[in-house]
Chains A and B, each alone.
Chain A
Amino acid sequence: MKIDKSLMSGSTMMLILSLLAKEEMYGYQMITELARRSNKTFELKEGTLYPILHGLEAERLVSVREKKADGRVRKYYRITKKGLKTLDTKKEEWGVFTEQVNAVIHGASLA
Chain B
Amino acid sequence: MRDDFQIWVDAVCEQVRFWPDRKGIEKELRVHYEDRCRDLERLHYERPLAAQRSLEAMGNAQEVGRALDRVHKPWLGWLWEVSRCLALALTVLALSANFLTIGLPTLAERTRGELAWEEPPESASRVELEHATIWAAPGDLREQDGKTVAEVRLWIKMRDPLAANGGVGTLFFTWRDDKGELSRWEFDSFSRTGPESRYWTYNAEASSTGWTRFRQTVKLVLDGPPRWAEASYPLSGGDWTLQGKWEEAL
Contacts and interface: CB of A to CB of B under 8 A. Distances in A.
B64 A27 contact: no
Contacts of B29: 47, 50
Interface string B9-51: 0001000000000000101110110111001000000000000
A55 B71 contact: yes
Contacts, number: 58
B36 A47 contact: no
B67 A27 contact: no
Interface stretch (B55-63, B175-183, B187-195): B55-63
Interface string A85-102: 000000000000000000
B63 A48 contact: yes
A50 B68 contact: yes
Contacts of A51: 64, 67-68, 70-71
A75 B29 CA distance: 10
B157 interface: no
Contacts of B25: 50
Interface in A3-40: 26-28, 31-32
Given A72-B31, A74-B31, A75-B28, A48 B67 contact: yes
B64 A47 contact: yes
A26 B31 CA distance: 10
Nearest to A58: B71
Main DSSP-derived SS at the B contact region: helix
Given A54-B71, A58-B71, A72 B32 contact: no
A46 B57 contact: yes
Contacts of A72: 31, 34
Interface in B163-180: none
A83 B29 CA distance: 24
Contacts of A106: none
A49 to B, nearest CB: 8
B72 interface: yes
Interface string A54-81: 1100100000000000001111000000
A16 B217 CA distance: 73
B70 A27 contact: no
A45 interface: yes
Contacts of B32: 27-28, 31, 46-47, 50
Contacts of B67: 48, 51
A28 B68 contact: no
A5 to B, nearest CB: 11
The 7 residue pairs across chains A and B that have the minimum distance between CB atoms: A45-B59, A51-B67, A47-B64, A28-B35, A47-B58, A47-B59, A54-B71
16 contacts: A28-B32, A32-B39, A46-B32, A46-B57, A46-B58, A47-B12, A47-B29, A47-B32, A47-B63, A50-B68, A54-B68, A54-B71, A55-B70, A55-B71, A73-B31, A75-B31
